[in-house]
Structure 1
Amino acid sequence: MLNTSSNNKRKMIVINGGHFSSLAGFYKEISKILMKDADWKVGTLDGFDDILYGGFGVFGNKEEIEIIWKESRKSKEDLGSNATREFYENKIRQGKPFNIQLIQQKLDELKEGKGQTLFEILVDIIESHPHIMLRLEDN
């Protein structure tokens, strides 16, 4: 959902955690929201980071935007430790071109309760863009 109200300089983009329950579902949802008129679709964490710079898709380069992530608590659970463990294990099984040692280290950290979940990684990616304000909502 895209809302460009005239009394707010930031373009509002809504991610609804109720529309997906996996990383692949997140990519599909974010592609529909941010890349709706583009041929390119999001399919990796790096690709998600790339589109947040803007300049293609629904907002301009470094345009001020606000992302509202509805049902973020559901997403936090869906993209939590179990999904993250599976994500890393799949990369290890695939092998090249992935850095297996680094991924194993991240998996070990996750198992020790020190590593980031997919949800936390996605939030960090969003928050690394100074032109984007993120608001997490539980409803």
Structure 2
Amino acid sequence: MKLDNSNNNKRESAVINGSRFSDLSGFYEEVSQVLMKDEDWKVGTLDGFDDILYGFTGEMIWKDSQKSKEDLGLEATMKFYEIKISQGKPFNINLARQKLDDLISGNGQTLYDILIEIIESHKNITLVLD
């Protein structure tokens, strides 16, 4: 579905299918196909995911969300921060270390939690976990 920013009164429906991916890059691929079919670029970052949601109004259904919760859980999130730390610039290494430490101590958010928080921060979207 192509997002039409000219008519914000139009409510849409989108389905993210957790059975189609098992990691963050797969999630980005899925949301790119679902939300940006007619675009010539794809989502590749958390900020990019957040940005495309400004053009969507309606219901977002996340099928197999429990599978995604496991796939994008503790292990995947630790790997996500470890990669940022090892790559260094342009990433904020101190922030990534802090997030990793929080995660290890049981106080941090997993990638799944972060994605849910991003979606729920958009008041124009109703999230349904299926």
Whether TM exceeds 0.5 here: the answer is: yes
1:96 aligns with 2:97: no
Q: Does 1:119 align with 2:75?
A: no
> Which residue does 2:66 correspond to in 1?
73
The residue aligned with 1:84 is: 77
- Which has the larger share of helix? 2
Structure 1 position 76, deviation (Å): 0.1
Within a 5 Å distance, the mapping from 1:8-19 to structure 2 comes to 10-19=11-20
- Equivalent AA in structure 2 for residue 127 of structure 1: E
Q: State the 1:40 CA deviation.
A: 1.5
Determine the structure 2 residue equivalent to 1:133.
Answer: 126
Q: What is the TM-score of this pair, normalised by structure 1?
A: 0.85
Query: What is the match of residue 5 of structure 1?
Result: none
Q: Which runs of 5+ in 1 are unaligned?
A: 3-8
Are 2:36 and 1:35 equivalent residues in the alignment?
Answer: yes
Return the alpha-carbon distance in structure 2 between the equivalents of residues 115 and 10 of structure 1. 33
**Secondary structure of 1:13's partner?**
strand
**Which letter maps to 1:87?**
F
RMSD (Å) for aligned C-alpha atoms:
1.4
Offset at 1:11?
1.2
- Report sequence identity in percent: 67
2:74 and 2:11 map into 1 onto residues whose CA distance is: 33
SS in 2 for 1:26: helix
